[in-house]
């Protein structure tokens, strides 16, 4: 074959070779993406009733259909304070451990704390007396924990009423409860910074939760005012976990529906914000891409009967399989 023939032959087969190579690369990328998706699952940490029996877990592959783990029996029994485990918040830290905080009673001046590698075996439960220094503190409700990458620390925050504080809104709450969000920080869960006021929106507020959305932070929170419009969910934004936070938005949860306990989960390009519609003993979910435009997705949501609020988060299949082995 002379040089002209060789060149002509190469020019004919080159497009075929390149197309095959591109097709193989594309398929490999799709396989990798699919593998990544199937190696991840979602968990929902929650409680039942008044929180007496402890931590419950459910799993999902799509964030909408949830199946109870361990036959919907508790993974961890509460032993601290008032011996409740309400409002469990679970996150996975950069140390590879799962860290959980929870409400230990209706009137304790502290919160519960525990850690786990796999959500099955847990550390000793520890009571953190975050409001013991306040003689007029009435409670510590719905603690949450968020990793703060800017300062290499965990921010733990919760709602407390301190009798005599914020008198301008004291009449707005049930039974004189007039909450604001307080916080402490820790790097090692052994020492904690002095408790301080974390978020003061100018109204009675509980059940705040913070997520990292592309390097910016979103706080979802509940207005606990007892007179309409009330018991709704709002959002606020900040460049840092520690704030400052901007003014709360207009409410985005369904009108005239009393809700609480929001938790956020990223599924594909959407954020799902789940909420406990406690007055109707049911659950709902809104979805959004930007926390400004919202779509009600409640009719597609299926949760184990009796689910009360907690947190949603993603886990590896290894963690899920370990939980599935529990009977």
Residue extents of the structural domains in the chain: 1-38, 42-324
Q: Are 179 and 141 in contact (CB under 8 A)?
A: yes
For the chain, first and last CA: distance in Å?
A: 72
Q: Are 217 and 170 in contact (CB under 8 A)?
A: no
The rounded percent of the chain whose pLDDT value lies above 70 is 88
Stretch 226-251: mean pLDDT, rounded?
94
Stretch 232-244: mean pLDDT, rounded?
98
Stretch 147-174: mean pLDDT, rounded?
96
Give the three-state DSSP class for 161: coil
pLDDT at 227: 82
- Predicted confidence band at 185 (pLDDT cuts at 50, 70, 90)? very high
Q: Are 216 and 149 in contact (CB under 8 A)?
A: no
Nearest 5°: phi and psi at 102? -160, 165
Give the neighbor-by-neighbor strand order of the sheet with 67-68: 67-68, 56-60, 40-47, 308-316
pLDDT at 30: 38
Torsion over CA: 256, 225, 306, 64 (sign): positive
Q: Are 326 and 69 in contact (CB under 8 A)?
A: yes
Nearest 5°: phi and psi at 101? -125, 155
Q: Which tens digits make up the pLDDT trace of 195-221? A: 999 999 999 999 999 999 999 999 999
- Predicted confidence band at 2 (pLDDT cuts at 50, 70, 90)? low
Residue 317: pLDDT above 80? yes
Mean pLDDT of the chain: 90
Q: Which tens digits make up the pLDDT trace of 3-18? A: 455 445 444 544 444 4
Stretch 154-173: mean pLDDT, rounded?
95
pLDDT at 38: 55
Q: Which tens digits make up the pLDDT trace of 61-105? A: 999 999 999 999 999 999 999 999 999 999 999 999 999 999 999
Q: For 42-324, which CATH class?
A: mainly beta
């Amino acid at each position: 074959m002379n040089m002209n023939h060789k060149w002509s032959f190469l020019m004919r087969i080159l497009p075929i070779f390149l197309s095959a190579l591109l097709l193989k690369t594309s398929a490999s990328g799709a396989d990798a993406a699919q593998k990544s998706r199937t190696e991840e699952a979602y968990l929902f940490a929650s409680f039942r009733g008044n929180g007496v029996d402890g931590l419950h877990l459910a799993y999902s592959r799509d964030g909408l259909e949830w199946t109870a783990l361990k036959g919907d029996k508790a993974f961890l029994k509460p032993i601290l304070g008032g011996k409740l485990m309400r409002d469990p918040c679970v996150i996975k830290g950069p140390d590879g451990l799962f860290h959980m905080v929870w409400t230990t009673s209706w009137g304790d001046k502290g919160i519960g704390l525990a850690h786990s590698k796999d959500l099955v075996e847990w550390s000793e439960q520890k009571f953190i007396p975050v409001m013991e220094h306040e003689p007029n503190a009435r409670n510590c409700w719905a603690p949450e924990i968020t990793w703060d990458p800017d300062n290499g620390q965990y921010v733990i925050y919760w709602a407390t009423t301190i009798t005599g504080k914020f008198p301008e809104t004291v009449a707005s709450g049930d039974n004189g409860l007039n909450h604001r969000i307080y916080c402490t920080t820790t790097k090692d869960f052994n020492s904690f910074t002095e408790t301080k006021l974390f978020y003061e929106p100018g109204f009675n507020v509980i059940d705040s939760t913070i997520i990292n959305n592309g390097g910016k932070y979103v706080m979802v929170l509940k207005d606990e005012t007892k007179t309409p419009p009330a018991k709704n969910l709002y959002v606020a934004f900040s460049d840092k976990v520690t704030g400052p936070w901007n003014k709360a938005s207009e409410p985005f949860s369904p009108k005239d529906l009393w809700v609480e306990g929001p938790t956020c989960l990223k599924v594909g390009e959407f954020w799902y914000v789940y909420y406990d519609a406690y007055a109707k003993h049911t659950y709902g979910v809104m979805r959004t891409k930007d926390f400004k435009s919202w779509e009600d997705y409640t009719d597609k949501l299926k949760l184990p009967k009796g689910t009360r609020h907690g947190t949603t988060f993603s886990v590896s299949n290894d963690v899920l399989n370990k939980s599935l082995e529990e009977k």
